[in-house]
Each structure stands twice: as C-alpha cells, then as structure tokens.
Amino acid sequence: MSLAKRIIPCLDVAGGRVVKGVNFLNLKDAGDPVDLAKRYDQEGADELTFLDISASTEERNTTLDIVSLTAEQVFIPLTVGGGIRTASDVNDLLRAGADKVSINTAAILRPDLINEISDRFGNQVLVLSVDARRAPTKSGFEVTTHGGRESAGLDALEWVTSAISRGVGEILLNSMDADGTKSGFDLEMIRAVRAISSVPVIASGGAGKIGDFGDAITAGADAVLAASVFHFAQVSIKDVKSDLAARGFSVRA
C-alpha cells in the first residue's frame, strides 16, 4: 500500500470555454471544458484543475455552471482557482461541485483570507498557488504576481511557511522561470520548497517531455500539474505514468 504520485491536467477556463493551450485541430469541440475533463478522466488523470481566468462577473457565473456540469460527469477530484477573494466565493464553488480551491494573489494581498477559508472548510480544501522565480532574496526564490511580471516583495520559502501555518493544505508551486519553456521543472526550487513544506507540493511549470515528470517527483513533488503538453498531446498521461512506474514510483493504474 502506498500513496500514488498524482498527475493533474490544468484547464484555463473563461466564459465557459477552455480559452488557450488546446489543439483544436486534433480534438472535436476541444474548447468545451466538460468534454476535456471527461477525456482526461478516461486517460487516467488523478485530479483536474480549472483555472478561472474570467474577467467579468457574468463570465464567472458561467464558470460556476461549468464546475457543476463537470462535477456531475467526472468522478475524480476537481480543484478550481482564479478570482477567489472571500470564504463566500469558496462556498459557492464547493456547492457547485469543486472539491478544492486554489488561491494566489488575494492571499498575498490579504493573508487572513487563508485563515478564514481554512477555519470554515478545513485546510484540505485549500491549495496555495505560488508563482515563484529566482531572485536575490533570502532563499534565492521570490513570489511574483501578474503572471510573473511583478515582484510581490515576498521570499518564496517564507511565504510558503507562513501560509502553511495559517492553514493551507497543499502548495501549487509554479516556476515562472521554467513556465512555457518546456525544458523541465525547476528541480532546485522543488527541492527547496519540499524541504520546508509539511503539506503536499504540486510542481508546475516547464513540463516538456515524459521524463520531466519523474524528475520533479524525484526532487520531492507529491504531484505534478501541466497544461499545454497534455492539451497538445505532446505527452500522454498514460506514458507519464508508465515512466513513473518504471522508475519505482507508485501510480494509480
């Protein structure tokens, strides 16, 4: 008996559609998040993450509908992130069918949000998404906002430590240096966060080839998240799991 390393596809959703990173040529109606969620479920995804990048309230309500539709058809855990500012936002998402939520900028602006969500729903529902990059801070990694363009003025390891003590149940660690490069995860960053984190760490950013996932897990990741390599079918979840199993890691069959 052992806990499986998780493979988590991430879908960017706005106004009820998957809005980027999808190969429309190979997939019929690839812009439908429910269809993509079902596809990834069938292909062996261990969880799904929706990142709501809606700009308007109207679009956000559509995203709530998409969460419900997905939860009605896909029987694996669903995490929803993006635009969460209050515990009431979390309640809406959980009632719509989300199992977990991820927060990022709102927690940087007002760290008490972490306590408010965790106290009401438990830390197991709360993922802290950290967009980090290398910088001359104490640990050598800093937190960014605005998709990695601006510094949040926080040391990444200090922020993770503080957020865990406030009540986050998982860390989604996005490397803004590796993101989009397809040259592999930032293994040094994963090792650094793993060393100080008492909660599971999900590695994100930089996946390009099958072996990258096992490298991230060797560095200490409990789960790995990726978007475009799965959307563009550059690697399949099944092949990633075969590689992990061959390297001695537990995976869900």
Site residues for another protein per CB under 8 A: 1-6, 41, 46, 68, 71-73, 75-77, 94-100, 120-125, 169-170, 197-200, 222-223, 252-253
Instruction: Determine the Cα–Cα distance for residues 143 and 205; give it in Å rounded to an integer.
Output: 14
Q: How far is the CB of 147 from another protein (least distance, A)?
A: 27
* Both structure tokens of 202: 């999900």
Which burial class, exposed, middle or buried, applies to 169 when counting CB atoms under 10 A from its CB (0-12, 13-18, 19+)?
middle
* Both structure tokens of 225: 């998240």
Instruction: Determine the Cα–Cα distance for residues 84 and 121; give it in Å rounded to an integer.
Output: 14
Phi and psi torsions of 111, nearest 5°: -60, -25
Which burial class, exposed, middle or buried, applies to 38 when counting CB atoms under 10 A from its CB (0-12, 13-18, 19+)?
middle
Q: How far is the CB of 5 from another protein (least distance, A)?
A: 8
Cβ nearer to another protein, comparing 86 with 250: 250
CA 216 distance to own-chain centroid: 14
Residues ≥6 apart with Cβ < 8 Å to 103: 81, 84, 113, 114, 117, 126, 127, 128, 129
Hey, which residues are catalytic here?
Answer: 12, 131
Cβ nearer to another protein, comparing 56 with 250: 250
Q: How far is the CB of 246 from another protein (least distance, A)?
A: 18
* Both structure tokens of 69: 């539709």
Q: How far is the CB of 157 from another protein (least distance, A)?
A: 16
Cβ nearer to another protein, comparing 177 with 222: 222
Cβ nearer to another protein, comparing 23 with 124: 124
Instruction: Determine the Cα–Cα distance for residues 159 and 166; give it in Å rounded to an integer.
Output: 10
Cβ nearer to another protein, comparing 155 with 222: 222
Q: How far is the CB of 10 from another protein (least distance, A)?
A: 17
Q: Is the alpha carbon torsion for 31, 35, 39, 45 positive or negative?
A: positive
